[in-house]
Amino acid sequence: MTDTIIDTSVIQAENARREADLRRDYESLGERLDRRGIAIDAIKEKVAGFSVAVPSWGVGTGGTRFARFPGPGEPRDIFDKIEDCAVISQLTQATRSVSLHIPWDKADPNRLKQAASRFNLGFDAMNSNTFSDAKGQLQSYKFGSLSAADSGTRQQAIEHNLECIEIGRTIGSKALTVWIGDGSNFPGQTNFTTQFERYLASMKEVYAALPEDWRLFTEHKMYEPAFYSTVVQDWGTSYLTATELGEKAFCLVDLGHHAPNVNIEMIVARLAQFGKLGGFHFNDSKYGDDDLDAGSIDPFRLFLVFNELVDAESRYADFRPAHMLDQNHNVTDPIESLMLSAADVQRAYAQALAVDRAALVAAQDANDALAATQELRLAFRTDVEPILALARFEQGGAIDPLATYRAAGYRAKVAEIRPKVEGGTGGIV
């Protein structure tokens, strides 16, 4: 029996007020989609089976390098974070796993496992951290980690990744995501080739320790914290790494880690075509790596990414990219943001499923550019909310997660138990 945090009577009462309208809306949308030859129930089934992992660090208030303004009831430790993740999962039924970050979430693995399974939550990819110094560590990562000039520093970074695998193995994770901040701030500070050689050599040692049924994801990022050059700066370097390492290594695409105007959906198609698309970190951005809520700035781009994913689903047999939110909540209740973001990721998936693929291919083959793009626009403009809401409702979630969460008064309740956190310092997470 799964424990629940939000009283189910609150969910039932909120749903009761909305169920009749929802069923009418679903029926009406079903008719409209049917006219285009698209079956609404098939989309709902796929949406119901879709899950995006919540990052443990996402449930705490984020910040910028200038300041962090903590909210009320901030999680004190990983066990509070797991409870917050359980709330998101219960209400949205779209986030069945949590992605841990070591050392931030370091705790007895058996306790972690128990805490998550109580709420029927699993663990998604493990995230190692060699971009900041952990308390008491011997070598500093100031000048790099897996690609550092100093062999002792590299060894320490390798061992940290091995530890992440070991913890992950105990708690049932099946993947390790490696993102490093290594790079340089000045031309000439490092040799591009030597540095990348050292990175590859270190990664080979990490890869060698992967359990048989694990995957290794390398996440690229164009800049920051190194501003002149970054070792794994784009999908090309990420692809080279994954190819060098072997068949268990894949590329992870974070939507915020690209130069402005880059065609991300095309990168998705390329990586999928060559069997190296490992997964996603969903977020949104206006200027750079803003880590804003997924779908909040450019929902059309999110849709175009899912358009490629749905296309890839039909092309490749073992296509199963990992989905995770990776965003920073500075001015909102993180639980509210994560619930809406999870729904927005599902929304993009549902819209992409509403594309008439046969009509799209016919338009493409006829070089009818306008008809082709119109197929996409038609699907993108479809309000698929009734599909998402009914999928949630049928699985015990909330028709309206935000209103239900607020009605349950969860934040006020945890604020009574969890001590107030002082803000002030920089707090990029």
CB of 75 to Mn ion, least distance (A): 20
Does residue 392 touch Mn ion according to CB under 5 A?
no
Q: Which of 275, 245, 278, 276 is nearest to 177 (CA)?
A: 278
Does residue 258 touch Mn ion according to CB under 5 A?
no
Coil, helix or strand for 217?
A: strand
Stretch that binds Mn ion, among 38-46, 167-175, 249-257, 371-379 (CB under 5 A): 249-257
Say which amino acid occupies 403: A
**Burial category of 72 from C-beta neighbours within 10 Å (exposed 0-12, middle 13-18, buried 19 and up):** middle
CB of 281 to Mn ion, least distance (A): 3
CB of 222 to Mn ion, least distance (A): 12
Does residue 375 touch Mn ion according to CB under 5 A?
no
Does residue 289 touch Mn ion according to CB under 5 A?
no
CB of 323 to Mn ion, least distance (A): 12
Does residue 323 touch Mn ion according to CB under 5 A?
no
Q: Considering only residues 254, 265, 284, 291, which one is a binding residue for Mn ion as defined by CB under 5 A?
A: 254
Say which amino acid occupies 14: E
Torsion sign, CA atoms 218, 220, 225, 230: positive
CB of 348 to Mn ion, least distance (A): 18
- Contact between 249 and 241 under an 8 Å Cβ cutoff? The reply is yes
Does residue 101 touch Mn ion according to CB under 5 A?
no
Complex with Mn ion: residue 202 or 218, whichever CB lies closer: 218
Does residue 308 touch Mn ion according to CB under 5 A?
no
Stretch that binds Mn ion, among 44-52, 273-281, 332-340, 416-424 (CB under 5 A): 273-281
SS3 content of the chain, % helix, strand, coil (to 5): 50, 10, 40
Structure tokens at 361: 């291919």
Does residue 46 touch Mn ion according to CB under 5 A?
no
Does residue 326 touch Mn ion according to CB under 5 A?
yes
Does residue 124 touch Mn ion according to CB under 5 A?
no
Structure tokens at 230: 């970054």
Does residue 281 touch Mn ion according to CB under 5 A?
yes
How many CA atoms lie within 13 Å of 85's alpha carbon, on the beta-carbon side?
Answer: 32
CB of 193 to Mn ion, least distance (A): 26
Does residue 284 touch Mn ion according to CB under 5 A?
no
CA atoms of 226 and 186, how far apart (whole Å): 9
Complex with Mn ion: residue 71 or 256, whichever CB lies closer: 256
CB of 177 to Mn ion, least distance (A): 8
CA atoms of 295 and 421, how far apart (whole Å): 29
H or E, element range at 267: helix 264-273
| Helices 334-353, 385-394: inter-axial angle, 10-degree rounding | 110
> Cα-flanking dihedrals φ and ψ of residue 242, to 5°?
-60, -35
CB of 260 to Mn ion, least distance (A): 18
Contact residues toward Mn ion (CB under 5 A) are 254, 281, 326
